[in-house]
Structures are given as C-alpha cells and as structure tokens.
C-alpha cells in the first residue's frame, strides 16, 4: 500500500473520529432520556404485564360467567393504563423543565 493510500485512510479515520465526537453528547443525552422514561413507566408496565397474564385465566372456560370476568378484568386494567398515562405526562413535564427555551430567531 502506498503512502498516499495510507493518507486517505488516516483522513477518513480522522473524519469518522470527528463525527463520533460531535454526536457523542447527543447520543449520551438520548440514552439518559430513554433511561429516565424507562424508570417512569416501568412500574406501570409491570402491573400491565400482570393484568395481561390474568387475561389468560379470564378467557378459559367455563364460559357461563365470561362476560362478568371480562368486565372485572377490564376494570382492573383501566387504572393501570391511566397510571401509565399519568407517568408519561409527568415524565414529559420533567423533560420540558430540563429543556432550555429557545430564543426566537436562533
């Protein structure tokens, strides 16, 4: 490989390193936001998972009280979904507080 070829690879490598350094802070912030979001909704997701496992029991025979069981199950899921919605709203409010206001024209 000639010296000129090595220079091309070094130039490409330097550009990739420069790009990596440029996006690193953005990737770190995105990871932090996803982690915060996960923490915010994880308890609700766990409860929703429990309710979904219960659904398997609800849809099994006997069928004579199926309607009642489905209603009870639906009633048990509604608060979990509402809680998850509240958690997401609270998380979004926290995100807005952390985001500095952009000045007009910039």
The 10 Å Cβ neighbour count of residue 39 is: 11
To the nearest whole percent, how much of the chain has pLDDT over 90?
46
Pick the range with the lowest mean pLDDT from 4-8, 82-86, 90-94, 100-104: 100-104
The pLDDT value recorded for residue 99 is 59
Query: 73 pLDDT exceeds 60?
Result: yes
Distances (CA, A) of 29 to 32, 80, 87, 96, 98: 5, 29, 20, 14, 11
Query: 72 pLDDT exceeds 90?
Result: yes
Domain ranges of the chain: 3-88
pTM, rounded to two decimals: 0.61
Mean pLDDT of the chain: 85
Where is pLDDT greater, at 97 or 11? 11
The helix (H) or strand (E) run that includes residue 65 is: none
DSSP assignments along 10-63, one per residue: HHHHHHHHHHHHHHHHHHHHHHHHHHHHHHHHHHHHHHHHHHHHHHHHHTSSP-
Query: 68 pLDDT exceeds 50?
Result: yes
3-state secondary structure of 101: coil
The pLDDT value recorded for residue 100 is 56
Mean pLDDT of 50-65: 88
Sign of dihedral through CA atoms 3, 6, 8, 11? negative
Please write the tens of the pLDDT for every residue from 28-39.
989 988 999 999
């Amino acid at each position: 490989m000639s010296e000129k070829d090595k220079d091309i690879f070094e130039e490409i490598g330097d550009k990739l390193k420069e790009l990596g350094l440029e996006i690193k802070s953005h990737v770190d912030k995105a990871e932090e936001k996803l982690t915060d979001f996960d923490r915010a909704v994880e308890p609700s997701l766990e409860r929703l998972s429990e309710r979904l496992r219960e659904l398997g029991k609800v849809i099994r025979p006997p069928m004579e009280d199926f309607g009642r069981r489905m209603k009870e199950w639906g009633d048990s899921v509604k608060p979990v979904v509402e809680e998850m919605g509240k958690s997401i709203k609270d998380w979004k409010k926290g995100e807005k507080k952390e985001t500095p206001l952009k000045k007009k024209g910039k």
